[in-house]
Structure 1
């Protein structure tokens, strides 16, 4: 269960998962409950359906369900029974979707990443306005404005907050201290992983500012959260950690930052939340392209998820 939380950021460490759970609880105990419950349901469903033991024990069947549950808690009012029931159902279904995506992308030796979660989250946000038991007062996802305007000048406090919120927004958390705690959990798994995550967050902030994104969007972490995931995926998880792949990963992080408002615009009718689609699209594209670049180490044949312990210590 705890590795399911840690695998949200590609880490196979029980201790890191525990720190991530603590970060969720510090933001809101309900988010912690949804995150842990989602990881349990996803992992348990996979175990009941006979998914391979290495995937179940490594947490690879728990991170999509964890994100799905937290996302619904954040956007559809965590305290409502209908939200809890929907989250439980989605966590079970996401296991089936994960198996389908693993089978499909495995044909090209590509990992599923968070695509299963993105598919279900997007479907729920599109359907929610038509379901009154889920959205009785017109609140929820579509009430989240994603304005393109606003001042672009960043203050020092905005930069510092954005650096940590880029990490916290991976779990939909607005609190900078939750991001700091999450980052500490990444460093607990491995210094290299922590440094790459920091580089990805800094790249996200710099790219968004250079493109003239509104300061509020940069400061709240929604512009740069995908950059953190892309950087970690491309340097140390699916590609060997080398100076060349680090530069490649940071280019990917900048690309994901650029894609974020584009995806949000496409999803505007359902509230404009990009989820982790920019991360998924960028990472799959860059992993596929890496096979044509001799200086890059492409993903190993048959890889279907982050390899346990690649950038972290052995499982606790």
Structure 2
């Protein structure tokens, strides 16, 4: 069970069972079904990795479950948590994403780049594309996703919208828009690492302010949809894959703003399948910034390189 809890916590780079417990509490506040999907998905992904002979140190650290956790939750949100078909899709997808993880790691490892949540994005996007053509799976009947329309001006966010967004940005990483759920997730991050918690806050603020500056409507900002990728980018680029200092902090803020701007673009790109950006903005921006990092001497990667059993699933030392 400790391995499963760590796997759930690794969604936010935290190798902590306590954080996993708090994440489960947060999901339970959103709905007991989501807590169950999160834990079951992580368990299935972890068990699949074990059966396939993945190195035991990685499994024990919870490094093989976080993509499966997100796939299970994404299936529940997209297809409805109380449908038998959703359970089947989620279980199969959690097995599949473990295989996808191995393939992505081999490909990106050629350039010493991390896999991040790319396996989840590929699997979840596949589900979103296929589901509308599968009547036994798709819960929305003949409804077809509409192409995006131009966003109206809307009212500027007030103070309530802004502080709701601050917490909702963290919750939306797990597809949960409630600000109080995001608050518990943030407490879970701080419980494992105060620096990581502070960087999550930096990413959330950056995402909210960027969305505001770009004219995103207040209700969207408050929902956390424009800013959740910025939270992950900030944590990844300052402390996980790059040594935390003032230079990587500035780099992380720039990346967080870029991820916020990329979110509606990717939502439009995926409009035919419902406009689900998932964590594509985080993945693409982080990979781009990490690929560029060796060109900037002020940005330092953790050295010496850790042993494989001590690494984050993406090849960087776990914080």
TM range, smaller chain? over 0.9
How far apart, in 2, do the equivalents of 1:144 and 1:80 lie?
27
Query: What are structure 1's unaligned runs of at least 5 residues?
Result: 311-316
**TM (normalized to structure 1)?**
0.94
Per the alignment, residue 13 of structure 2 pairs with: 10
In structure 2, the residue matched to 1:87 is 90
In 2, Cα distance between equivalents of 1:131 and 1:150: 36
Report how far residue 144 of structure 1 moved: 11
- Deviation readout 1:198-229 (Å, 9 max, x if unpaired): 00000000001111112121110000000000
1:1-23: CA deviation from partner (whole Å, max 9, x where unpaired): 00111100001111001100110
**Mapping 1:53-202, distance limit 5 Å:** 53-138=56-141, 142=145, 148-202=151-205
Task: Provide TM-score, normalisation by structure 2.
Answer: 0.93
Q: Secondary structure at the match of 1:154?
A: coil
- 3-state SS of 2:152 partner: coil
Q: CA deviation at 1:147?
A: 6.3
Distance 1:46 1:77, change over 3 A: same
Q: Does 1:275 align with 2:284?
A: no
Structure 2: where are the runs of 5+ without partners? Answer: none
Cα deviation for residue 149 of structure 1 reads 2.0
Rounded Cα–Cα distance in structure 2 between residues aligned with 1:252 and 1:279: 9
246, 250, 261: which one aligns with 2:249: 246
- Preserved CA contact (<8 Å) 2:167 2:182: yes
2:314 pairs, out of 302, 305, 308, with 305
8 Å contact from structure 2 (residues 146, 272) kept in 1: no
Whether the 8 Å CA contact 2:79–2:139 is kept in 1: the answer is no
Higher relative contact order (CA 8 A, sep 6+): 1
Equivalences, count: 310
Instruction: Output the aligned Cα RMSD.
Output: 1.9
Q: Structure 1 residues 282, 140: CA separation in 2 closer, same or farther (over 3 Å shift)?
A: farther
Using a 3 Å threshold, how does the CA distance of structure 1 residues 141 and 81 change in structure 2: closer, same or farther? Answer: farther
